[in-house]
Amino acid sequence: MNRFTDNIATRLAFAPHSVENTLALLDEGCTIPFISRYRKERTGNLDEVQIARISELYDKLKELAKRKETILKTIEEQGQLTDTLQKRIDDCWDTGELEDLYLPYKPKRHTRARIAREQGLEPLATLLLLQRELYPEQAAERFVKGEVKDAKAALKGAQDIIAETVSEDERARKAVRGIYRREAVITSKVVAKMKEEEKARKFSDYFDWSEPLKRCSSHRLLAMRRGEAEGVLRVTISADDGQCTDKLSKLFVRGRGACQHLLDEAVEDAYKRLIKPSMETEFAGLSKERADEEAVRVFAENLRQLLLAAPLGQKRVLGVDPGFRTGCKVVCLDGQGNLLHHEVIKPHPPVGDVAGAARQVLRMVENFRLEAVAIGNGTASRETNDFIHSLDFGRKVQIFVVSEDGASVYSASETAREEFPNEDVTVRGAVSIGRRLMDPLAELVKIDPKSIGVGQYQHDVDQSLLKKSLDTTVELCVNSVGVNLNTASSHLLTYVSGLGPALARNIVDYRRKNGPFTSRAQLKKVPRLGPTAYQQCAGFLRIPDAKNPLDNSGVHPESYKLVEQMAKDSGCSVTDLMKDAERRKRINLNCYVTTEVGMPTLTDIMRELEKPGLDPRGPIETFEFDTNVHTPEDLCPGMVLPGIVTNITNFGAFVDIGVHQDGLVHISQLADRYVSDPNEVVQVHCHVRVKVVEVDLRRHRISLTMRGVEQ
């Protein structure tokens, strides 16, 4: 049994056997998408989110176990490791408590207490701690020698030893930690000389701010920490000093007298000089860690929604990267996203050749039989959208505004240079905009998620945590949709379960050399793609025109024989079984249940046979901004406008209403009821109707509400 099973099962409230089997699968190299999709019987039907939580906690516990090994080795080398201490360390799985246990044995720099010990003052400190000495100054006289000039110096050295002893005492630290956990306050003050600086304006809400640390939300804490990093704010975390010192005194001081007075001074020194700074650092770290985790969670959820946005599909698209001075870069793409043609139109000032630009667009739409237009949402987007809508195409051409966040990052990347070595960055950016409309997932995987524009404070959080979370999110999205083996780029294939950059390149190279794949089994011929990688990836790869129809479904090859047996028992072929709903209804799934294949897997198989290769993403919808507003100056309180949600945070949702500046719908204004999570009401890129509450032109803020507005 895995030594972490019980710990994880208890913390996450999962069945121990589910955790044990999940850990075994992870140790075997199985990916989260593969486990959640094809090993439901072993995990007890855990979904990918639950498996990811197990995986994350497993990694943390393994790191903590390594730390414990280091601690035990250090204490053992000092010859101070007892059976009792070893058991306490072995049983401890709290980082703070573990470090408390280790603190007395931790190698120290040249502290005041260490100097006092070297002066032979430890016996005096022990006498004071026993609190039996009525005349401590007389007792201290016996220790006056060498560098200890008098009794006062001896007592001061003894107090330094006592202060360090108190600061390393497990009970003392636990008591103060409890007070900080319950009552710590975070305070933010503006640095006086920075108050009038331009960069300080965005932190004005925190110039004089204070609140209980346990109530401080992720976005407020990260905003204060950013202000601190930029030299605008001074941030502190503190608790009631008197309460803390009183608690410590009760632990170490008994009665009254000269000896007790010296102990009180040492305890106060221990708290102010040693324990308090340690606790402030600890709680600053813990609060930052929690804020990071929450910010990363929100970012990952926004990214998931963006990646799973509805695709237009394989339509011929006109991609437009809007601009004023240099014009709009326009590209024509075929149904597979291949670049057919590009040119520049200049319908806006300073040139303003509207008639010429119109002729150019109409000619391209006609010559390349284009079916849709994708317009980037950056500079001149609204004006370009109005211009395109004014054209008479003579047939139905759908028009969409597409987020262009990260398009410039892609256009200058190595990936873009490989795809379009002979085109400049403007052409590459326009191609990315057009492809995002066709298949957001396939195009956005080429861009660093941090550049896609749906995060907040992404540069302030733990970067390794952020990268791991976002990579996992992309992987889960790619595998939930499935990938066309014959059209996917190497970047998209990289995120398929069991693959990676090297195998993805090998697949593309094999495809280029040997032509399209005709079966999943052909994957076994790809260099370095062994049995394990094949097992992990095969079920997530689709071949639309394969001879075996199951190769275009989510049915894993290991279940092909089972489906073939179902077809045989039904007196038909697999193809007929997939087409005939009545035949499938007559199948008694209980007849096919085994120890390896249970009802969850059988249910999934039947669902895939019903709709093989079904894309879980919904249909795309067209959208138009209000034609009466173009800039923030056009807005008035009370206006009801259509908008698109561009970003979601814990405190609300940002909405694009077509004025080149997003407005904020605070969480309290999202609905006519209490909302604990904005995702209950809105999703990234969903279409909403909002009412303007306030427009602050000086601070560039637009306040919106959805309360009382019919959606």
Report yes or no: 548 and 519 within 8 Å, Cβ to Cβ.
Answer: yes
Task: State the pLDDT at residue 545.
Answer: 87
Which two three-digit tokens encode residue 392?
Answer: 């008479």
The single-letter code of the amino acid at 632 is P
Look at the pTM and tell me if it is higher than 0.85.
yes
The single-letter code of the amino acid at 143 is F
Domains identified in the chain and CATH numbers: 4-105 (1.10.10.650), 112-293 (1.10.3500.10), 317-438 (3.30.420.140), 499-610 (1.10.150.310), 632-705 (2.40.50.140)
Where are the extended beta strands (E) located within 553-699?
A: 640-649, 652-656, 663-666, 687-696
Task: Point out the residues of the chain with pLDDT beneath 70.
Answer: none
DSSP 573: -
Measured distance between the N- and C-terminal CA atoms of the chain, rounded to whole angstroms: 53
Q: Which helix (H) or strand (E) holds 610?
A: helix 599-610
Q: Residue 398 and residue 438: Cα distance in Å, rounded? A: 12
Which two three-digit tokens encode residue 384?
Answer: 């370009």
Tell me whether strands 372-376 and 317-321 are parallel, antiparallel or unpaired. parallel
What's the mean pLDDT when you consider all of the chain? 94
Q: Residue 507 and residue 616: Cα distance in Å, rounded? A: 25
SS3 assignment, position 334: coil
Task: State the pLDDT at residue 181.
Answer: 96
DSSP 604-633: HHHHHHHSTT---S---------TT--SGG
Dump pLDDT digits (tens) for 646-666. Answer: 999 999 999 999 998 999 999
Location of structure tokens 């998931």: 304
DSSP 437-487: HH-HHHHHTTS-GGGSS--SSTTTS-HHHHHHHHHHHHHHHHHHH-EETTT
User: Burial code of 657-666, b = ≥16 C-beta within 10 A, e = fewer?
Assistant: bbbbbbbbbb
Report yes or no: 131 and 263 within 8 Å, Cβ to Cβ.
Answer: yes
Residue 644, classified by CB atoms within 10 Å of its CB into exposed (0-12), middle (13-18) or buried (19+), is buried
Task: State the pLDDT at residue 198.
Answer: 81
Dump pLDDT digits (tens) for 424-443. Answer: 999 999 999 999 999 999 99
Closest CA to 35 of 540, 436, 664: 540
Among left, alpha and beta (phi > 0; psi -120 to 50; other), residue 407 is alpha
